Amino acid sequence: MKQSAKLTFLVLLFVLCACESKKKVVFKTFSEKIDSVFSIVPDFSGVVLLAKKGELLYHNSFGFRNFETKAKVDTASIFELASVSKQFTATIIMLLKDDEKLQYDDPVEKYLPNLPYPNITIRQLLTHTSGLPDYQAIMDQRWDKRKVANNDDILEYLKKFHPSKSFEPGEKYEYSNTGYVLLASIAEKASGKDFIEMCRERIFQPLGMTSTNIRTLPEKVAIENFALGHIFVKQKNRYVRADSFPSSNYAIWLGNRKGPGRISSTTSDLLKWDQALYTDKVLSQKSLMDAFEPMRLTNDSISFYGFGWDIKTDKNGGKIVLHTGDNPGYKTEIIRHLGENKTLIILCNNAHEKFEDLVKALNAILENE
């Protein structure tokens, strides 16, 4: 039986078990349910955390920080979050809105003049409905990769080469890293402060997220417990560091960008973040409601992406907010069941091909807990 088929079977098995009489106990503990999922993907590398009302149900590590040295991952290992970072960028924008430094329906040109894409609002950047082109494509074609690009460089290349927009603002949803680059730059213009410092001062430090930061490459190298990204190479029949592939080089020559990614963290720190979002520690609950609301498009249809969060419902109709991340060698995800205060966090540093199946299986178990 193929692994994907086995995982699908396990999902069904767990759901059925939850509906069975308590006399028919298949697993002695919750941890055994989770361990049984990972028993059929023994090469998974990463950390998995499941919690209910902030209390750990399961927290375990697998695999290696470095497959060459066999240094093991532990639950305190630090991973690239990739696009899971976007929820923090959105939060900075929401904080600045609360500070009356900006408004969601302000035009982008109010803060970033001469950008050749008029009539786009901050709200449309937040919800991926701006129609902006992919900045990475034009940078890949034109940028001198011996240098490391930052947000100002990206903005300059968008102005200079003016790649065509994908659609008129507000017409539809299209995931846009470009939009989140612009959001970080807008945050700096509106506040007069560095985006990275704002993340540290207004989110990471107040919440005691001591392992979380936006780090340079040398800073990451200096961290012994940093989990390196790996990719499986069939010809070699082993996992190889992702940064040894030319296709991963963009993470280096775009290494100073802010907004769409670059935060690195741990599962424990992300649980602190998750639980803080049920309080007013960072944002008021009133302000946070905006982040979890779908976006109405110009054709009156609905896009289910809020401010840095995908919006879904669970089997009982309860609201779920989540986000995935994908960087060379990494796959990450956080899922939050808002009504029941249940959390799934999975950080993977070998971009496992069964990652999505694992997430589905784990979330099915969590829903029935």
Q: Find, among 321, 318, 298, the residue nearest to 308 by Cα.
A: 321
Report the alpha-carbon distance of residue 307 to residue 299 in Å, rounded: 20
Q: Find, among 272, 264, 274, the residue nearest to 212 by Cα.
A: 264
Give the count of alpha carbons within 13 A of 180, CB side only.
27
Beta carbons of 283 and 95 less than 8 angstroms apart:
yes
Q: Which residues contact 48 (CB under 8 A, 6 or more apart)?
A: 34, 38, 58, 59, 60, 61, 62, 267, 344, 345, 346, 362
Report the alpha-carbon distance of residue 128 to residue 175 in Å, rounded: 5
CA angle 159, 168, 108 (to 5 degrees): 50
Q: What sign does the CA torsion over 82, 83, 89, 91 have?
A: negative
To 10 degrees, the CA torsion angle through 244, 249, 254, 259?
A: -60
Report the alpha-carbon distance of residue 251 to residue 246 in Å, rounded: 10
Report the alpha-carbon distance of residue 178 to residue 258 in Å, rounded: 10
Q: What sign does the CA torsion over 26, 32, 33, 39 have?
A: negative
Beta carbons of 260 and 85 less than 8 angstroms apart:
yes
Residues that are catalytic? 83
Q: Which residues contact 43 (CB under 8 A, 6 or more apart)?
A: 63, 232, 239, 350, 352
